[in-house]
Amino acid sequence: MGEPIPQIAHRAISNEVAITVADLDVTYRTTIEKRPTLKQAIVRLGRGKRSVRTVEALKDVSFEVNRGTVLGIIGHNGAGKSTLMRTVAGIVPPTRGKVEVVGRTSTLLSLGVGFNRQLTGRENVILGGLAAGLTKDELEDRYERIAEFADIGDFIEMPMRSYSSGMAARLAFSVAVHLDPDILLIDEALSTGDAVFKEKATERMQELVNNSSTMLLISHALRTIINMSTDCIWLDHGKLMMRGNPEEVVDAYTEYMHVKKTSAVFNDM
């Protein structure tokens, strides 16, 4: 066994609803290429191929989440987990159905590590906060705490292109948890950073849970899901397969996926 697995103690969950997802379909068109170019478009046209493909990311998904819940989301790659997060965050609109969210959300998705590498860490923090809807004064108040928590020293005043991936991840995590979110969306974000930072991150998440924040957590590390969440949903090809106690859902999922419960799968976070 490797590092200790983060664990969160849970308070009683409120009966107030924080997130309502009703009959949600999300369908989007995307290109096959990573970088669509005119040349490829012309080549495809010549061969009579279609450039876009329709992805039915979520199909008829409905569930409610009460305030104070830590909801684990599991499923295979491409099951629709990240799309669900983005829909709850308001980044991708529903194609059908409705999503209602009470409170401020803060997202920490796997790719969300600094956005402009030419700018300093500090500038990225301020810009990220402003885009998320905080005022300049609110950010001035929080900036010191964010910098202190990220603990990257003088690097905070340097362009982010000079950061290691671990440093960028720490800063991103620090920003997300210091926006005082009512709802925190975390997508595999704990997979970077060293053991010390992981511990610190878990502590901070515990604080948020104590303050009745709601959390949505995506992880392929099933042990993390069991240890940290109070509730769990399992998505398969965009459909909601099961919802319930994390241990039971994880069991059903692993059985379905014919995955042996090896420690490698469980601890790989």
Partner 1 sequence: MSELAQRKARPVHVFLPHRAGLPRLSTYFVTLWRRRHFAIELSRASMRAAHTNTFFGQFWLVISPALNAAVYFLLVNIIRGGNSGPDFFIHLLAGLFAFNFISATMTAGADSVVRGGSLVLNTAFPLLLLPWSSLRTAFFRFLPSLLILLAFFAYFDWIGPHPMACDQVTGECVALNTVHFSVVQLMAIPAFALIFVFAAGLGALMATVQVYFRDTSQFLPYATRIWLYLSPVLYFADQLQPWMLKVELFNPLYPLLGVWTDTLARGVMPPLTWWLGATAWALGSLLIGTLYFISREREFAVRI
- Residue whose CB is less far from partner 1, 187 or 250: 187
Cβ 83 vs Cβ 62: under 8 Å = no
- Residue whose CB is less far from partner 1, 89 or 226: 89
140 binding partner 1? (CB under 8 A): no
99 binding partner 1? (CB under 8 A): yes
123 binding partner 1? (CB under 8 A): yes
115 binding partner 1? (CB under 8 A): yes
Which one of residues 107, 202, 219, 229 is an interface residue with partner 1 (CB under 8 A)?
107
Residues 44-73 that bind partner 1 (CB under 8 A): 55
Picking from 180, 207, 20, 185, the residue whose alpha carbon sits closest to that of residue 89 is: 185
- Residue whose CB is less far from partner 1, 116 or 263: 116
The Cα 107–Cα 152 span in angstroms is 21
- Residue whose CB is less far from partner 1, 213 or 229: 213
The Cα 269–Cα 267 span in angstroms is 6
166 binding partner 1? (CB under 8 A): no
C-alpha to C-alpha distances, 127 to 96, 104, 106, 140, nearest whole angstrom: 32, 17, 14, 12
The Cα 118–Cα 128 span in angstroms is 14
The Cα 253–Cα 243 span in angstroms is 11
Neighbours of 71 (CB within 10 A): 23
233 binding partner 1? (CB under 8 A): no
| Strand pairing category for 52-66 and 17-31 | antiparallel
Which one of residues 11, 49, 53, 136 is an interface residue with partner 1 (CB under 8 A)?
136
Residue numbers of the site for partner 1 (CB under 8 A)? Answer: 16, 28-31, 35-39, 41, 55, 86-87, 89-105, 107-109, 111-116, 118-119, 123, 126-128, 130-133, 135-136, 159, 182
